[in-house]
Amino acid sequence: MTFSSLSDEVRAFRAAHPDVRYVDLICLDIPGHFYGKRYPIDMLEKVAAGSLLKLPQNCVLLGAQGGLHEIGDYCFNDGDPDATRRLIPGTLKPVRWEQQPLGQMLISSDGTDSPIEFEPREVLARVLSRLAAKGIHPVVAFELEFYLFDRALKDGLPQYPRDPLCGDEDDQPNLHIERLSRFSPVLHEIVEVANEQGIDANVITAEIGPGQFEINFGHCEDGLQAADWAALFTRLTRGVALKHGHRASFMSKPYLDAPGSGMHVHVSLYDRQGNNLLAPDDGGPLRHAVAGCLDWLPHCMPIFAPHRNAYRRYGSRVNAASRASWGYEDRDACVRIPDSDDRNLRIEHRLAGADANPYLVLAAILSAMEHGLEQRAEPIAPLNENRQSGIDFPMDMLGAVAQMRHHPAVNAGLGEEFVMVYCENKRQDHLAFMEHINAREYRWFL
């Protein structure tokens, strides 16, 4: 449902949910955690009518373990100024996983008079605006893998979930559809709650890891909304899982001996008339876009693998490449081309971990495709022709940060200020993690 104004949206919500007294106003920081404020709903109506909504600017810069790192003049040398946020229309929804009636709504600095240049949603908004000015309109669909764990950790580490019906551990990795029946109460409610939040969540798959599942989203013509869906989905999945006695995590590699979880992003590009821009000239533009993705991939690893743990996922035995590669209908490739007609021709970018920031992942993919189309370069051989084809990418955080920091195209595509801030955030995160590494650190990812 669309409303003529934010005030109408808030008033309609209050009429439909008279028992809700508070609304969480939330946005995503650089590591992909939500922060924000819990607002009384009568105050929210004032914000919707035009009252200023301000939060500390530096909340965006929080590290993966919750603390702040010194980044240039930010954090400890700028006085932690407030920055204006706006309400995102259409995102005010009820929350059913909390113990009390509650609502939630996305907020962002993008679209304000002074957007925060390094806020993830603003980074994506700038990329989409640049593409729109060139007559390029992406259609995007996310797929997110995640694990269900037992509610209780052991020595700070996750344990296999227990079958709600018989209490057995789900410790046998397989793709058997019977696992969907065993965990149907929590999985079906995750999809139902996602739909209530306006997210077009649909297909559920039992993945190969113990307690691992995947849920797909429909193709979305609004890139910001597609990333909003992915971000909100992580929050609701954790909440619904706890309600059912489980713990959910999008951690890239929670177990040493089980597959990791990926964020797969399907992207098509269309012109203003609705023509698929990747299809002409026997798929020439598709190959150019692939070449751009492969060129950028080594330099965007801090975005695709934002934590030290994420690098453990690459090179495993199951559909997680250790080199930048591409192929037709090939799940070992980082960039896969699904079989489709010209109208639906698209790439599936499969490298990012499920705990990556969806706004930044999409911004990097779109900018890389844009770069490839403009350079008109041809990619390396697909895996279908040469199983050894591929381009090395850094397998450690510090090496990846060094590559990202000094790549001129990445700096231009994502913004020099953002790249500087992001690289320093990731570098400090890594050093802090290595200094204090122990099992308790992993709780931030669960």
- Is the pLDDT at 255 greater than 90? The verdict is no
User: What is the sign, positive or negative, of the torsion defined by CA atoms of 335, 315, 150, 208?
Assistant: positive
The string of pLDDT tens digits covering residues 314-348 is 976 666 788 999 999 998 999 999 999 999 999 99
Residue 223 has pLDDT above 70, yes or no: yes
The confidence score (pLDDT) of residue 64 equals 83
In the prediction, which pLDDT does 442 show? 55
User: With 0-12 CB in 10 A as exposed, 13-18 as middle and 19+ as buried, what is 411?
Assistant: middle
CATH fourth-level superfamily of 6-116: Glutamine synthetase, N-terminal domain (3.10.20.70)
Q: Which residue reads 């037992």 in tokens?
A: 150
Q: What is the pLDDT of residues 79-132, one digit of tens each?
A: 989 999 999 999 999 999 998 999 999 999 999 999 999 999 999 999 999 999
pLDDT at residue 437, as a whole number = 62
Of the candidates 142, 148, 236, which has an alpha carbon nearest to the alpha carbon of residue 184? Answer: 148
Rounded to 10 degrees, what is the CA torsion of 303, 308, 309, 310? 20
CA distances from 35 to 48, 89, 107, 180, 427 (A): 20, 18, 10, 32, 22
- By CB atoms closer than 10 A (0-12, 13-18, 19+), residue 34 is middle
439 pLDDT more than 60: no
* Pair 143, 361: CB distance under 8 Å: no
Whether the domain at 6-116 and the domain at 128-445 fall into the same CATH topology? no
Residue spans per domain, the chain? 6-116, 128-445
Averaged confidence pLDDT in the chain = 92
Give the pLDDT confidence of 63-84 residue by residue, as tens digits.
Answer: 887 888 889 889 888 898 999 9
> According to the model, what pLDDT value does residue 319 have?
67
What local confidence, expressed as pLDDT, does residue 317 receive?
A: 60
On whether the CB atoms of residues 359 and 288 are closer than 8 A, the answer is no
What confidence score (pLDDT) does residue 446 get? 52
User: E strands within 58-211?
Assistant: 82-87, 93-95, 102-108, 137-150, 201-206
- Running DSSP on this structure, what letter comes out for residue 157? B
Contact 3, 9 (CB under 8 A): yes
Report the pLDDT averaged over residues 356-369.
98
- Nearest residue to 382 (alpha-carbon basis) of 435, 336, 416, 427: 336
pLDDT for 324: 94
pLDDT at 262: 95
Amino acid 67: pLDDT: 82
CATH class of the domain defined by 128-445: alpha beta
At 163-181, the pLDDT tens digits run 877 777 777 767 888 889 8
Helix (H, G, I), strand (E, B) or coil at 261: coil
Interval 415-420 mean pLDDT: 96
- Whose tokens are 């306006």? That residue is 198
Instruction: Give the three-class secondary structure for 411.
Output: helix
- Say how many C-beta atoms besides its own lie within 10 A of residue 444's C-beta: 16
User: Which pLDDT value is given to residue 154?
Assistant: 84
CA 71 to the chain's CA centroid: 23
Alpha carbon distance 191, 55 (integer Å) = 31
